[in-house]
Amino acid sequence: MANDPLERFGAVPLFRVSSDDVADGRPLSRAQWGAGGGGDDISPQLSWSGFPAETKSFAVTIHDRDAPTGSGFWHWAVYNIPASVTELAAGAGAEGGANLPAGASMLSNEMRSKSFTGAGPPPGTGTHRYDIVVHALDVERLDLDPESTPAVLGFNAHFHTLARAVIAPIATAGDI
């Protein structure tokens, strides 16, 4: 049975997300792999368009739905991105959020780091899909405790999502 974490949220309109660094269904480059697996832990460049005019902010999440945990693995979670921002540069997920747009906030990932953590699928766990999701929200700010988890962000974003854009690159242990 396939695990599609977005399926249970119901349908919302889709908009476009693209990247200079990753592509849907294509292997991640060395830059988007974790340092522990020979990569650079650099968040991918993302840009989006075609979202609803009523959008007041965005949230971006990167989740490995195929991690052998029962709940997946959160690699990155950013929220309160102003509606005027339609791109995150490569490396925006640097530790602490200094490379994020003004007003945006980052939550700790599964490694308890407020940064982007690159891919690192364990040997023998097959190909992993990394859901990169841009959520167009109907509120300017989500009032989250800065120590919340990405799952709490997902819960809150669910009730404010006008539309979403998804790109899902892949990685398999040994790819780099």
Give per-residue pLDDT as tens, 71-91.
Answer: 999 999 999 999 999 999 999
Q: What is the pLDDT of residue 3?
A: 58
Mean pLDDT of 8-19: 90
- CATH number for the region 10-172 comes to 3.90.280.10
List residues bridging with 170 in a β-sheet: 27, 129
Write down the domain spans for the chain: 10-172
Name residues whose C-beta falls within 8 Å of residue 77's C-beta, 6 or more positions apart in sequence: 59, 60, 61, 62, 106, 107, 109, 150, 153
CA 14 to chain centre: 16
Rounded mean pLDDT, 116-131: 96
Which residues, other chains included, contact 113 with Cβ-Cβ below 8 Å and sequence gap of 6+?
Answer: 95
Give the per-residue pLDDT at 1.
Answer: 42
- Token pair, residue 134, equals 């841009």
Structure tokens at 92: 């925006």
Say how far apart CA 117 and CA 34 lie, in whole Å: 6
What share of the chain has pLDDT > 90, as a percent? Answer: 90
What pLDDT is recorded for position 54?
98
